[in-house]
A and B are shown apart, each in its own frame.
Chain A
Amino acid sequence: AQKVTQAQTEISVVEKEDVTLDCVYETRDTTYYLFWYKQPPSGELVFLIRRNSFDEQNEISGRYSWNFQKSTSSFNFTITASQVVDSAVYFCALSGASQAAGNKLTFGGGTRVLVKP
């Protein structure tokens, strides 16, 4: 069975501070994908990143960066110089990469980020 744990339920920061969201996962699949999604108050899940289990390179996209460590089964997400618009709930998710796994995501419980001006 797959499991994703986001230990932080809520994080509050002041604008321009950095914030790191933790994600730890469990899976028996040898190949899998990891995701981060953002959910603003409107409810739609906005895709941020997909990472293949074979690719352990860290990635940076603007103010966002991701640290994937297979050895510790973690896929952490950092927002640098946070802005009020970053306020949302962020979800880490996991999926097997085989056809049998299909298009099924297992989500963590989410971390609510509140950025205060």
Chain B
Amino acid sequence: KAGVTQTPRYLIKTRGQQVTLSCSPISGHRSVSWYQQTPGQGLQFLFEYFSETQRNKGNFPGRFSGRQFSNSRSEMNVSTLELGDSALYLCASSSGPTIGGYTFGSGTRLTVV
């Protein structure tokens, strides 16, 4: 079965712009989580959606937002991009409400110039 699909793979944006990243979970998975990976801060949890509701949120400014659709696909949005938002954004999906089969996508590499 298909894994977690993240699009696009690479993205270059200008400071001040906004960006939307997409994540399609494994079929049947209802939980989608997002992580930011940077050389300085490592892997940090952004937020988790379960059945279209945000269930957990990490310590990121309000410029970072997300949503989940009825088909479990999720998007995350970053507004007013800053240079420090350059990172690999990883999405993971899980089959249930608690940590279970937790599968990551290949990520979207965002570069802000």
Interface residues of A (CB under 8 A from B): 33, 35, 37, 42-47, 50, 91, 93, 95-99, 101-110
Nearest-Cβ distance from residue B112 to partner chain A, whole angstroms? 18
The residue among B45, B58, B88, B106 with the most chain A CB atoms within 10 A of its own CB is: B45
CB-based closest 10 A-B pairs: A107-B43, A45-B104, A95-B99, A44-B106, A103-B94, A102-B56, A103-B31, A102-B55, A43-B107, A104-B56
Given contacts A97-B98, A104-B99, A108-B42, 13 further A-B contacts (CB under 8 A): A33-B99, A35-B102, A43-B90, A43-B106, A47-B103, A50-B99, A50-B102, A97-B99, A101-B56, A102-B55, A103-B56, A105-B35, A107-B42
Number of A-B residue pairs, CB cutoff 8 Å, is 77
Per-residue contact bits, chain B 15-59, to A (CB 8 Å; 1 contact, 0 not): 000000000000000010101000000111100101000011010
The answer to whether B45 touches A43 (Cβ under 8 A) is no
Q: Which residues of the other chain, A, contact B45 by a CB distance below 8 angstroms?
A: 104-106
Interface residues on B, range: 20 to 34
B84 at the interface (CB under 8 A from A): no
A101 to B100, CA, bound (A): 12
A33 to B102, CA, bound (A): 12
